[in-house]
Structure 1
Protein backbone atom coordinates (compact mmCIF):
# COMPACT_ATOMS: atom_id res chain seq x y z
CA UNK A 1 0.00 0.00 0.00
CA UNK A 2 1.29 3.46 -0.85
CA UNK A 3 2.38 5.76 1.93
CA UNK A 4 0.07 8.60 2.86
CA UNK A 5 -3.19 7.09 1.56
CA UNK A 6 -4.45 6.70 5.13
CA UNK A 7 -4.35 9.08 8.10
CA UNK A 8 -4.89 9.24 11.83
CA UNK A 9 -6.83 12.23 13.09
CA UNK A 10 -6.76 13.30 16.73
CA UNK A 11 -9.60 15.17 18.41
CA UNK A 12 -9.87 16.21 22.06
CA UNK A 13 -13.33 16.10 23.62
CA UNK A 14 -14.60 17.28 27.04
CA UNK A 15 -15.79 13.84 28.23
CA UNK A 16 -16.51 10.23 27.23
CA UNK A 17 -20.22 10.74 26.56
CA UNK A 18 -19.52 13.54 24.06
CA UNK A 19 -16.75 11.38 22.61
CA UNK A 20 -19.05 8.39 22.15
CA UNK A 21 -21.73 10.52 20.53
CA UNK A 22 -19.25 12.05 18.09
CA UNK A 23 -17.57 8.69 17.41
CA UNK A 24 -20.90 7.05 16.54
CA UNK A 25 -21.77 9.92 14.17
CA UNK A 26 -18.36 9.65 12.48
CA UNK A 27 -18.82 5.90 12.02
CA UNK A 28 -22.43 6.22 10.79
CA UNK A 29 -21.25 8.72 8.17
CA UNK A 30 -18.49 6.33 7.00
CA UNK A 31 -15.75 8.83 7.76
CA UNK A 32 -13.55 6.29 9.58
CA UNK A 33 -12.87 2.60 10.00
CA UNK A 34 -12.45 3.00 13.77
CA UNK A 35 -12.52 5.63 16.49
CA UNK A 36 -10.59 4.89 19.67
CA UNK A 37 -11.78 6.76 22.75
CA UNK A 38 -8.86 7.32 25.12
CA UNK A 39 -9.97 8.59 28.55
CA UNK A 40 -8.16 10.71 31.12
CA UNK A 41 -6.03 12.92 28.92
CA UNK A 42 -4.68 15.95 30.79
CA UNK A 43 -4.45 18.99 28.52
CA UNK A 44 -2.56 22.15 29.40
CA UNK A 45 -3.19 24.94 26.94
CA UNK A 46 -3.29 28.68 26.55
CA UNK A 47 -6.61 30.40 25.91
CA UNK A 48 -7.13 34.16 25.99
CA UNK A 49 -3.66 34.68 27.52
CA UNK A 50 -4.44 32.29 30.36
CA UNK A 51 -2.92 28.87 31.03
CA UNK A 52 -5.57 26.24 31.62
CA UNK A 53 -5.39 22.61 32.75
CA UNK A 54 -8.32 20.37 31.81
CA UNK A 55 -9.20 16.71 31.88
CA UNK A 56 -10.26 15.62 28.41
CA UNK A 57 -10.78 12.54 26.28
CA UNK A 58 -8.84 11.86 23.08
CA UNK A 59 -10.39 10.43 19.94
CA UNK A 60 -7.99 8.64 17.61
CA UNK A 61 -9.69 8.30 14.22
CA UNK A 62 -8.39 6.16 11.34
CA UNK A 63 -9.49 7.23 7.87
CA UNK A 64 -8.45 7.86 4.28
CA UNK A 65 -6.26 10.91 3.77
CA UNK A 66 -8.59 12.01 0.97
CA UNK A 67 -11.45 12.20 3.52
CA UNK A 68 -9.61 14.22 6.20
CA UNK A 69 -11.01 17.59 5.07
CA UNK A 70 -14.56 16.18 5.24
CA UNK A 71 -13.80 14.68 8.66
CA UNK A 72 -12.43 18.00 9.96
CA UNK A 73 -15.53 19.84 8.71
CA UNK A 74 -17.81 17.20 10.25
CA UNK A 75 -16.04 17.36 13.62
CA UNK A 76 -16.14 21.17 13.67
CA UNK A 77 -19.90 21.10 12.97
CA UNK A 78 -20.57 18.54 15.72
CA UNK A 79 -18.06 19.50 18.42
CA UNK A 80 -18.98 21.52 21.52
CA UNK A 81 -15.76 23.60 21.51
CA UNK A 82 -15.53 26.74 19.39
CA UNK A 83 -11.86 26.13 18.51
CA UNK A 84 -11.76 22.34 18.69
CA UNK A 85 -8.53 20.46 18.22
CA UNK A 86 -8.63 18.41 15.03
CA UNK A 87 -5.19 17.45 13.78
CA UNK A 88 -4.20 14.75 11.33
CA UNK A 89 -1.07 12.94 10.24
CA UNK A 90 -0.57 10.44 7.41
CA UNK A 91 0.07 6.80 8.25
CA UNK A 92 3.44 5.99 6.77
CA UNK A 93 3.57 2.27 7.57
CA UNK A 94 1.03 -0.24 8.83
CA UNK A 95 -0.42 -3.71 8.75
CA UNK A 96 -1.69 -4.17 5.18
CA UNK A 97 -4.68 -6.17 6.38
CA UNK A 98 -5.76 -3.35 8.71
CA UNK A 99 -5.11 -0.67 6.09
CA UNK A 100 -7.31 -2.61 3.66
CA UNK A 101 -10.10 -2.40 6.27
CA UNK A 102 -9.87 1.39 5.95
CA UNK A 103 -10.25 1.08 2.17
CA UNK A 104 -13.19 -1.27 2.57
CA UNK A 105 -14.96 0.86 5.21
CA UNK A 106 -14.31 4.47 4.16
CA UNK A 107 -15.54 5.21 0.64
CA UNK A 108 -13.21 7.07 -1.69
CA UNK A 109 -14.37 10.50 -2.79
CA UNK A 110 -16.15 10.28 -6.12
CA UNK A 111 -14.74 12.70 -8.66
Structure 2
Protein backbone atom coordinates (compact mmCIF):
# COMPACT_ATOMS: atom_id res chain seq x y z
CA UNK A 1 0.00 0.00 0.00
CA UNK A 2 1.39 3.38 -0.96
CA UNK A 3 0.51 6.49 1.02
CA UNK A 4 2.02 9.60 -0.47
CA UNK A 5 3.35 12.36 1.72
CA UNK A 6 1.72 15.75 1.59
CA UNK A 7 4.69 17.09 -0.37
CA UNK A 8 4.39 14.24 -2.92
CA UNK A 9 0.65 14.83 -3.30
CA UNK A 10 1.23 18.54 -3.84
CA UNK A 11 3.93 17.77 -6.42
CA UNK A 12 1.64 15.36 -8.31
CA UNK A 13 -1.20 17.89 -8.16
CA UNK A 14 0.83 20.81 -9.53
CA UNK A 15 2.80 18.83 -12.13
CA UNK A 16 0.16 16.45 -13.46
CA UNK A 17 -3.42 17.02 -12.31
CA UNK A 18 -3.74 20.83 -12.13
CA UNK A 19 -2.30 21.44 -15.64
CA UNK A 20 -4.93 19.09 -17.06
CA UNK A 21 -7.74 21.06 -15.41
CA UNK A 22 -6.25 24.47 -16.27
CA UNK A 23 -5.89 23.57 -19.95
CA UNK A 24 -9.37 22.07 -20.09
CA UNK A 25 -10.93 25.13 -18.45
CA UNK A 26 -9.11 27.46 -20.85
CA UNK A 27 -10.47 25.59 -23.86
CA UNK A 28 -14.13 24.86 -23.31
CA UNK A 29 -14.41 23.52 -26.87
CA UNK A 30 -12.44 20.46 -25.84
CA UNK A 31 -13.83 16.94 -25.64
CA UNK A 32 -16.11 17.54 -22.65
CA UNK A 33 -18.86 15.67 -24.50
CA UNK A 34 -16.99 12.45 -23.64
CA UNK A 35 -16.60 13.32 -19.95
CA UNK A 36 -16.01 10.21 -17.84
CA UNK A 37 -15.74 7.95 -20.91
CA UNK A 38 -11.97 7.88 -20.49
CA UNK A 39 -9.77 7.67 -17.40
CA UNK A 40 -6.19 8.05 -16.32
CA UNK A 41 -4.88 5.46 -13.89
CA UNK A 42 -1.83 5.80 -11.67
CA UNK A 43 0.34 2.86 -10.62
CA UNK A 44 3.59 3.00 -8.67
CA UNK A 45 6.24 0.39 -9.48
CA UNK A 46 9.62 -0.38 -7.90
CA UNK A 47 11.58 0.63 -11.02
CA UNK A 48 11.25 1.52 -14.70
CA UNK A 49 11.93 -2.06 -15.86
CA UNK A 50 8.85 -3.32 -14.00
CA UNK A 51 6.98 -0.30 -15.38
CA UNK A 52 8.00 -1.18 -18.94
CA UNK A 53 6.90 -4.80 -18.50
CA UNK A 54 3.49 -3.81 -17.11
CA UNK A 55 3.11 -0.95 -19.62
CA UNK A 56 3.87 -3.15 -22.63
CA UNK A 57 1.40 -5.76 -21.38
CA UNK A 58 -1.37 -3.20 -20.86
CA UNK A 59 -0.96 -1.76 -24.37
CA UNK A 60 -0.55 -5.18 -26.01
CA UNK A 61 -3.71 -6.45 -24.29
CA UNK A 62 -5.66 -3.32 -25.35
CA UNK A 63 -6.24 -2.26 -21.74
CA UNK A 64 -4.40 1.04 -22.27
CA UNK A 65 -3.79 3.34 -25.19
CA UNK A 66 -0.66 4.82 -23.65
CA UNK A 67 1.47 4.32 -20.55
CA UNK A 68 3.86 7.08 -19.49
CA UNK A 69 6.62 6.09 -17.09
CA UNK A 70 7.63 8.91 -14.77
CA UNK A 71 10.93 7.91 -13.18
CA UNK A 72 12.21 8.80 -9.76
CA UNK A 73 9.29 9.46 -7.48
CA UNK A 74 9.81 9.05 -3.76
CA UNK A 75 7.01 7.35 -1.86
CA UNK A 76 6.68 7.68 1.89
CA UNK A 77 4.12 5.41 3.47
CA UNK A 78 3.29 3.24 6.44
CA UNK A 79 3.34 -0.52 5.90
CA UNK A 80 3.10 -3.14 8.65
CA UNK A 81 3.50 -0.49 11.37
CA UNK A 82 6.68 0.90 9.87
CA UNK A 83 7.29 4.17 8.01
CA UNK A 84 9.01 3.47 4.69
CA UNK A 85 10.60 5.66 2.05
CA UNK A 86 11.19 4.12 -1.38
CA UNK A 87 12.37 5.29 -4.78
CA UNK A 88 9.78 4.25 -7.34
CA UNK A 89 8.50 5.07 -10.80
CA UNK A 90 4.96 6.21 -11.56
CA UNK A 91 2.88 4.88 -14.45
CA UNK A 92 0.33 7.29 -15.92
CA UNK A 93 -2.07 5.13 -17.92
CA UNK A 94 -4.73 6.37 -20.37
CA UNK A 95 -7.67 4.04 -20.90
CA UNK A 96 -11.43 3.74 -21.15
CA UNK A 97 -13.24 4.06 -17.85
CA UNK A 98 -15.11 0.84 -18.68
CA UNK A 99 -11.77 -1.03 -18.73
CA UNK A 100 -10.37 0.17 -15.39
CA UNK A 101 -11.45 -2.99 -13.54
CA UNK A 102 -9.73 -5.25 -16.12
CA UNK A 103 -6.68 -2.97 -16.09
CA UNK A 104 -6.56 -3.23 -12.28
CA UNK A 105 -6.73 -7.03 -12.41
CA UNK A 106 -3.94 -7.13 -14.99
CA UNK A 107 -1.72 -4.90 -12.85
CA UNK A 108 -2.46 -6.92 -9.69
CA UNK A 109 -1.57 -10.15 -11.51
CA UNK A 110 1.72 -8.78 -12.87
CA UNK A 111 2.94 -6.50 -10.07
CA UNK A 112 5.62 -7.56 -7.58
CA UNK A 113 4.08 -5.77 -4.57
CA UNK A 114 1.84 -7.58 -2.10
CA UNK A 115 -0.58 -4.63 -2.32
CA UNK A 116 -0.06 -2.44 -5.37
CA UNK A 117 -1.43 1.02 -5.99
CA UNK A 118 -3.95 1.33 -8.79
CA UNK A 119 -6.06 4.47 -8.65
CA UNK A 120 -7.96 6.16 -11.46
CA UNK A 121 -9.56 9.48 -12.21
CA UNK A 122 -12.02 10.27 -14.99
CA UNK A 123 -10.80 12.52 -17.77
CA UNK A 124 -13.34 15.36 -17.79
CA UNK A 125 -12.01 17.22 -20.82
CA UNK A 126 -9.28 16.85 -23.37
CA UNK A 127 -8.14 17.16 -26.95
CA UNK A 128 -10.97 15.47 -28.93
CA UNK A 129 -8.62 13.76 -31.43
CA UNK A 130 -6.56 12.36 -28.54
CA UNK A 131 -9.65 11.09 -26.71
CA UNK A 132 -10.83 9.50 -29.96
CA UNK A 133 -7.42 7.85 -30.30
CA UNK A 134 -7.76 6.35 -26.80
CA UNK A 135 -11.14 4.95 -27.82
CA UNK A 136 -9.74 3.48 -31.03
CA UNK A 137 -6.94 1.72 -29.15
CA UNK A 138 -8.92 0.49 -26.15
CA UNK A 139 -12.11 -1.31 -27.15
CA UNK A 140 -15.21 -1.27 -24.93
CA UNK A 141 -14.97 -4.97 -24.14
TM range (shorter): over 0.9
- Structure 1 vs Structure 2 CA RMSD: 0.6
Gaps of 5+ in 2: 1-32
Are 2:134 and 1:102 aligned?
Answer: yes
* Alignment: residue pair count: 109
- Point out 4+ residue stretches in structure 1 off by more than 3 angstroms: none
- For residues 47-90 of structure 1, the C-alpha deviation after alignment (integer angstroms, 9 at most, x for no partner) is 01111000000000000000000000010000000100000010
SS of match in other structure, 1:9: strand
Structure with bigger helix share is: 2
SS of match in other structure, 1:24: helix
Gaps of 5+ in 1: none
Structure with bigger strand share is: 1
For the pair shown, the structure with the greater C-alpha radius of gyration is 2
Counterpart for residue 79 of structure 1: 111
1:2, 1:67 → 2: CA distance? 15
SS of match in other structure, 2:41: strand
Q: TM-score, normalised by structure 2?
A: 0.76
